[in-house]
């Protein structure tokens, strides 16, 4: 899919078709995250790919808003670094990696949705990441149940000329 179509088609998908996602496609999505830029190339991320249904169902209980994680073909658990760097770039860089993955997914017709992790102890118990890694979030991945991803003409966003300023603020 053309980049512009992926950018305009990406949307949060919370209901997924009962259809697997090819391992090669999941690898490509993860590779998009791995390649992301980061402050001084510190790469402050680890990705745990979860595809077992029982594990997905358990994972869906780590936050009240994570219910959609029980249903899709896969979920990537993004695990943040043990500590931030001197430029406080951890959150920013994880945001970049996440966007690269969700756009890579959209380009394959695969929907995605972000969910936080409130119960980090439960997530650690389920996934076994080290004790010094104390924040993580989830990106669910699967084919949409409702309708395929197609370019959204008028996204629910602030108007362009309110967001974009030319040369100067006012």
Residues at the contact surface with its own copies, assessed by CB under 8 A? 1-8, 10, 12, 27-28, 30-37, 41, 43, 45-52, 55, 87-100, 102-104, 106-107, 114, 116, 127-130, 152, 155-158, 160, 163-170
Nearer of residues 42 and 146 to its own copies, judged by Cβ = 42
Q: Would you say 28 or 61 has its CB closer to its own copies?
A: 28
- Give min distance, CB of 63 to its own copies, in A: 11
Assess contact for 21 and 110: CB atoms under 8 A: yes
Displacement of CA 164 from its chain's centroid (Å): 26
Provide CB contacts within 8 A for 128, sequence distance 6+.
Answer: none
DSSP SS3 for 94: helix
Angle between helices 23-34 and 90-107 (to 10 degrees): 150
- Quote the least distance from Cβ 3 to its own copies, whole Å: 3
Buried b (16+ CB within 10 A) or exposed e, 77-112: bbbbbeeeeeeebbeebbebbbebbbbbbbbbbbbb
User: Residue 109 CB, nearest distance to its own copies (Å)?
Assistant: 11
Kindly tell me which of 8 and 61 has the beta carbon lying closer to its own copies: 8
Residue among 18 and 116 whose Cβ is closer to its own copies: 116
Minimum CB separation of residue 21 from its own copies in Å reads: 14
Residue 132 C-beta: closest distance to its own copies, Å: 12
Question: How far is Cα 71 from Cα 98, in angstroms, rounded to an integer?
Answer: 20
Instruction: Please say which residue, 17 or 126, places its beta carbon nearer to its own copies.
Output: 126
């Amino acid at each position: 899919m053309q980049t512009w179509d992926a950018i305009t088609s990406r949307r949060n998908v919370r209901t997924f078709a009962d259809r697997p996602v090819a391992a090669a496609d999941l690898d490509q999505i993860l590779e998009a995250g791995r390649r992301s830029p980061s402050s001084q190339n510190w790469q402050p991320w680890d990705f745990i790919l979860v595809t077992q249904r029982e594990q997905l169902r358990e994972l869906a209980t780590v936050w009240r808003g994570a219910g959609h994680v029980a249903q899709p073909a896969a979920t990537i658990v993004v695990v943040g670094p043990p500590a931030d760097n001197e430029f406080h770039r951890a959150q920013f860089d994880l945001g970049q990696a996440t966007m690269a993955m969700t756009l890579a997914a959209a380009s394959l017709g695969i929907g995605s949705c972000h969910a936080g992790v409130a119960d980090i102890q439960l997530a650690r118990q389920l996934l076994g990441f080290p004790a010094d890694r104390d924040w993580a979030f989830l990106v669910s991945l699967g084919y949409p149940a409702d309708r395929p991803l197609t370019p959204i003409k008028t996204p629910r966003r602030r108007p362009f000329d309110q967001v974009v300023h030319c040369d100067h603020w006012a």
